[in-house]
Structures are given as C-alpha cells and as structure tokens.
Copies of this chain bind each other. A is one copy, B any other.
Amino acid sequence: MWGFLARAAESKTPTRIQREKTGLILKAALEVFSTYGFRGSTIDQIATEAGLSKPNLLYYFDSKEAIHALLLEHLLDTWLDPLRALDPKGDPVSEITGYVIRKLELSRDYPRESRLFANEILQGAPRVMGLIKGPLKTLVDNRAAVISDWSKSGRIADVDPYHLIFSIWATTQHYADFDSQVSAVLGDAAERRFEAAADYLTTLFTKMLLPSAG
C-alpha cells in the first residue's frame, strides 16, 4: 500500500510522520493540480500549499508525476464506487436515480477530484488511458448489460445504456467541473444549486426511464 513512497519502499511500515506528510502532500497536490492542471502546477506551489520545502516534498515522492499518478489512481476507485453500487436486484428507476444523486453528491463534496479527472480526460487521458480501457470499461460494460436487461424486460423504457451513463456522468459532474460558470450564471441562486440540480436531474432521469404506459 505504501509502495508509491520514495522512501517507504525501504521500510515495511510507514511511520506516523510519513503518513501525515504523505497525506498533506496529496491534499495539497489535489488542490493545486485540480486548479492549474498538471503542467500548470509546480512542485513549489504544492510544497508551499503543504507547508513543506521543495526537497522535503521530494523526499516523500520521487517526482511530480508520481504524485499525480497516485492521485489519479486513488481517484478512479472513488469515482466508480457509486456505479459499482448499482444493484441488479433493486428497483431499476430508484437504482439509477440513486446513482445520479450519489454522483451529484460526489460533485458537491469532492469537486477537486472531479476536476482533476476532467483535466486528465480533456487532454486525451495520456496518463490514465490504461485504466479507462481496462477497469473502467469493464465496469461500464457490466452495468450497461444490467440496464439493458431492465430495458428488455420492460421494467424501464428502451434506452441506450451507454449514452444513459454518459449523460449521468455529464450532468452530475458538470456541477463540479463547470462550477465557476454555473455559479456565475445562477448568481444568488447558486447557493441552492445542488438541491435544485438534485430535483431537476431526478425528474429528468425518472421521465426518461419510466416505461411508457400501454
């Protein structure tokens, strides 16, 4: 678990200080990378944000790349958890709207993670294409099959499961990734943007999925 540490490789168990400093650095790096992108961020910024000297930061991580890579790796897991939680045995519509709500909560609670990921994908995913074509695609394929079954059995409307998933990702992550625009456009109403989005998106996807009467 600590194999990513420059120094920790040598010692089996990380010390308390290692855990603390590593955490500090990752927190600072997330802040900086998610705001300025990989190339736009400097180790100096991250070190300052973390309250460390530059060489001290590099004592814990081998390189700027290594910090970024670790962040992305951790991130993808968290990011996919809600989709994993989609229960094939649950009620289709509530499973999916529940998924929407959980993704929206991630956007509200972890906007920096969302932006870090968005930044990466935007640039063609040079550092995470492997994860996308591997674990991410596998999971999506699997859940798309579940949704497809629901469609075929008539429990939800006929829908392209992949594009359904894309639209859920797009609409929920929008509130994290494009928050500066959303908040600017909403003005005073920005305060309640997540509640309003929850209502709106629940309706949107419920209407989309309700099997047509008849």
Contact = CB atoms under 8 A, between A and B. Distances in A.
Interface stretch (A23-31, A91-99, A175-183): A175-183
A8 interface: no
Contacts of A196: 160, 162-163
Contacts of A180: 121, 124-125, 129, 132
Given A122-B119, A122-B122, A162 B178 contact: no
A137 interface: yes
Contact of A122 (B125, B169, B178): B178
A167 interface: yes
Number of identical monomers bound together in the oligomeric complex: 4
Contacts of A185: 132, 136-137, 140, 162
Given A36-B39, A199-B160, A207-B208, A125 B184 contact: yes
B40 A129 contact: no
A35 B164 CA distance: 27
Interface in A117-134: 118-119, 121-125, 129, 132-133
A160 B200 contact: yes
Contact of A129 (B119, B132, B184): B184
Given A200-B167, A207-B208, A122 B118 contact: yes
30 contacts: A36-B39, A36-B123, A37-B37, A37-B40, A37-B122, A38-B40, A115-B122, A118-B118, A118-B122, A118-B177, A121-B177, A121-B180, A125-B180, A129-B184, A133-B184, A136-B181, A136-B184, A159-B200, A162-B196, A163-B196, A164-B200, A166-B182, A166-B197, A167-B174, A167-B204, A169-B174, A170-B170, A170-B174, A171-B171, A207-B208
Given A136-B181, A204-B204, 11 more contacts: A37-B37, A37-B40, A37-B122, A39-B40, A118-B178, A124-B180, A136-B184, A136-B185, A140-B185, A163-B201, A170-B170
